[in-house]
Structure 1
Amino acid sequence: MGILVIIGRLLFAALFLVSAYGHLTRRKMMAGYAASRGVPAAEFLVVATGVQMAVGSLMVALGVWPDLGALILFLFLIVTAFWMHPFWKESEPQNRAMERVHFYKDLALAGAALVMFAAFAALGPDINPGITGPLLTIR
């Protein structure tokens, strides 16, 4: 089972590593989009969320307190879903459909991150071959 968990961690983390890279290397463009969605201090928050995704995904991928890494990604995803993709505010049907897809994608990924957090925190090293065990323990 250990190899499956490692593969799953790497596949899950890949999306966030690529996104973090984009946030950090194309921050002006990303900040412009974030500002258009009403995000205050958009450039700062683009960099901050880029770092948040990088840290969380590396923790999950490497197995360094992967429970905390999954929780960091969960928090990012929940905030992003509601702040960046409020499809119910869109009046144009195509934009509404696109934002709805992004909103539910973020919620689905948040659900996966929450399951990862719970699994790592509850089962620890039994299911998670990594550099460290979980930081948190839940039963």
Structure 2
Amino acid sequence: MEAIFLISRILFVFLLLGSAYGHLTQADAMGGYASSKGLPNGKVLAQVSGVALLVGGISILFGIFGDAGSLGIAILLLIMAVTMHAFWKETDAQAKQMEMISFNKDVALAGGALAMYVIFYGFSEFGFYTLTGALFN
């Protein structure tokens, strides 16, 4: 089971690190999108969220206080779902559908991150190929 949990972390983090890379290398475009959603300082928010995705992803991947990293990612994803993908505000059917897909993706990933939080928190004594134990335990 430890190996399966490690594989699940690698697969989960693949998306997080890819998103972090996009947020950090395309901060102008990401910031413009955030600003179009009414958020102030879009570029700064894109960079901050990119760093948060990177740090949380590394935390989960290597098990460095994986409970804190996975909880942080869950919170970030829920905030991003509500602020960036508010499909209920869209009037164009195609835009509404795209935002709903992104909203559902972020909520589902947040659920996965919360599941990882429970595993990191509740079973930290078993190791699960981690570099540290749980921070909150």
TM-score, normalised to structure 1, is 0.95
Q: Write the letter of the residue equivalent to 2:38.
A: G
Can you give the 5+ residue segments of structure 1 that lack an aligned partner in the other structure? none
Question: What is the deviation of 1:127?
Answer: 5.7
Provide, for residues 54-108 of structure 1, a one-character-per-residue CA deviation record: whole Å limited to 9, x for no partner. 0000000011111111011101100000000010000111111111111111111
Question: Equivalents in 2 of 1:127, 1:77: separation in Å?
Answer: 26
Question: Equivalents in 1 of 2:102, 2:54: separation in Å?
Answer: 20
Match of residue 63 from structure 2? 63
Question: What is the deviation of 1:128?
Answer: 2.1
Match of residue 47 from structure 1? 47
Instruction: Please state if 1:75 is matched with 2:75.
Output: yes
Question: Equivalents in 2 of 1:94, 1:25: separation in Å?
Answer: 27
Match of residue 105 from structure 1? 105
Match of residue 24 from structure 1? 24
Q: Write the letter of the residue equivalent to 1:24.
A: L
Question: Equivalents in 2 of 1:97, 1:125: separation in Å?
Answer: 43
Match of residue 123 from structure 1? 123
Question: What is the number of residues matched between the two proteins?
Answer: 137
Q: Is the 8 A contact 1:5 1:127 kept in 2?
A: no
Instruction: Please state if 1:10 is matched with 2:10.
Output: yes
Question: Equivalents in 1 of 2:11, 2:127: separation in Å?
Answer: 16
Return structure 1 stretches of 4+ with deviation > 6 angstroms.
none
122-131 or 94-103, larger mean C-alpha shift: 122-131
Can you give the 5+ residue segments of structure 2 that lack an aligned partner in the other structure? none
Q: Is the 8 A contact 2:127 2:133 kept in 1?
A: no
Question: Equivalents in 2 of 1:122, 1:2: separation in Å?
Answer: 14
Two-structure CA RMSD over aligned residues (Å): 0.9
Question: What is the deviation of 1:126?
Answer: 1.8
Question: Equivalents in 1 of 2:5, 2:22: separation in Å?
Answer: 26
Question: Equivalents in 2 of 1:127, 1:95: separation in Å?
Answer: 44
Match of residue 90 from structure 1? 90
Identical aligned pairs, as a percentage? 40
- Give the match's secondary structure for 2:123: helix
